[in-house]
Amino acid sequence: MSAVKNKSDTRVITFREALNEALREEMERDDRVFLLGEDVGRKGGIAGVSRGLLEQFGPGRVMDTPIAEMAIAGACCGAAMSGLRPVGEFYYSDMLMFMADNIVTSAARLKLATGQTAPYVLRGRDGSKPEDGGPHQDSFAAWFAHIPGLKVVMPSTPADAKGLLKAAIRDDNPVIFLEQIPLYGVKGEVPSGEHIVPLGKAEVKRTGTDVTLACVGRCVYDALAAQERWSARGVSVEVLDLRSLRPLDVEAIRVSVSKTGRLAVVHEGWTTYGISAEVIACVSDGPELLLRAPAQRVGTLDTHIPASPRLAAEVLPNAARIDAAIGRLRG
């Protein structure tokens, strides 16, 4: 039976270890793949994702760079234009703001000028840190999902972390790969060896009939918790993990909402002009009318995340605001 075979081929490892495995396997498979970033080598990455890779592959393929994000982004673009498959690391996703010009103006639009793309991955920590706050808690997924020519990925489970990172490295386009900070220690079953999760495919984590919770990253766990709370109250919630934000799995979103007629979108990042606006547009653009109740957005409130953990918890998406949204959908 395939289930037995799959069982023997998986182990329980952390999200961090799954990412490490993806990098190691892709570097073993393809010597064009190399890593660069601040502290990726000796320290093994600020989140420990590249531990052991300097020792295995040497400093020519695991480069500890100066603190120079613009140069890291440019080096990824230029090396990718020249036939390599760079994987750059940023410390926090607010550092993507330093890199943004090169990503948008040089990499994402390259094909129009040259007929070629820049196949690279920029990956790093994104979103809220439970223990402390400030600008390093911001999530910039929507900024980059806005850009034609980029792909934007945000895994929620260890298996998806591995499968999506391997797919991102093999993809012929620049990919922004966002690793939400609370997830690094999450454990789960991960297939050994070749395991690819295609970019642009959402996954139904729980099937339900009354409400669709479309979510991404660490908010998947908040949605799963909400599904259990509301199940006890007789409300059947479908949890859809978007996994990729660009390309967005419009088909999966429409299939789910065709069934439930009710949609709430849960994500980090500011609400206005955010991920939820695009997801809701997928079901409101037609041709058929799918929504039977006004769609709900649960993102970061439209202000800057306070540094205080106690205050930040109020401004970030949380259980109380998810419950309020589901309550409004049930009207």
Partner 1 sequence: MTTATAGREPGRETLMSMMEQLVLVREFESRCDEMWRAKTHMVGEFHLSLGQEAIAVGVCTALTSADLICPSIRGMGVYLCRGASLTSLMTTFFDRAGGIGNGRWAHWHSPVPEAGVLAQTGMLGSGLVTSGGVALAQKYLKTGKVVVAMLGDGATSTGYVHEGAVFAAYADLPMVMVIENNGYAVSTPIRSVVKVDDLSRRAAGYGIPGVTVDGNDVAAVYGAMVDAVERARAGKGPTLVECKTYRFGGSTVKDADTLRPAVEKEAARRNCPVRRLKTLLVGRGWLSDADYQGMVDAVRSRIAAAEAEAVRRPLLEAGDDLLQEFNPYSEGVAQ
- Which of the stretches 36-44, 193-201, 209-217, 247-255 binds partner 1 when contact is defined by CB under 8 A? 36-44
* Contact status: 48 vs partner 1 (CB under 8 A): no
- Measured CA to CA, the distance from residue 274 to residue 267 in angstroms comes to 9
Residue closer to partner 1 by CB (options 58, 247) is 58
Nearest to 143 by CA among 113, 164, 122, 120: 122
* Contact status: 308 vs partner 1 (CB under 8 A): yes
* Contact status: 100 vs partner 1 (CB under 8 A): no
Among 133, 163, 174, 269, binds partner 1 (CB under 8 A): 133
* Contact status: 71 vs partner 1 (CB under 8 A): yes
Among 12, 70, 319, 324, binds partner 1 (CB under 8 A): 70
* Contact status: 194 vs partner 1 (CB under 8 A): no
Side chain identity, residue 100 = A
Q: Total residues contacting partner 1 (rule CB under 8 A)?
A: 36
Cβ–Cβ < 8 Å for 98, 272: no
* Contact status: 138 vs partner 1 (CB under 8 A): no
Interaction mask 145-164, partner 1, x per CB under 8 A: --------------------
Nearest to 36 by CA among 91, 96, 76: 76
State the catalytic residues: 136
Residue closer to partner 1 by CB (options 131, 288) is 131
* Contact status: 94 vs partner 1 (CB under 8 A): yes
- Measured CA to CA, the distance from residue 138 to residue 301 in angstroms comes to 12
* Contact status: 304 vs partner 1 (CB under 8 A): yes
Cβ–Cβ < 8 Å for 109, 150: no
Task: Give first-to-last CA distance, the chain, whole Å.
Answer: 45
Q: Which residue has the tokens 């230029």?
A: 78
A 10 A CB-CB count for 315 gives: 18
How far, CA to CA in Å, does 41 sit from each of 16, 21, 62, 110, 248? 16, 15, 6, 30, 33
Cβ–Cβ < 8 Å for 270, 302: yes
* Contact residues: partner 1, CB under 8 A: 38-39, 42-43, 46, 64-71, 92, 94-95, 97-98, 131-136, 301-304, 306-311, 314-315
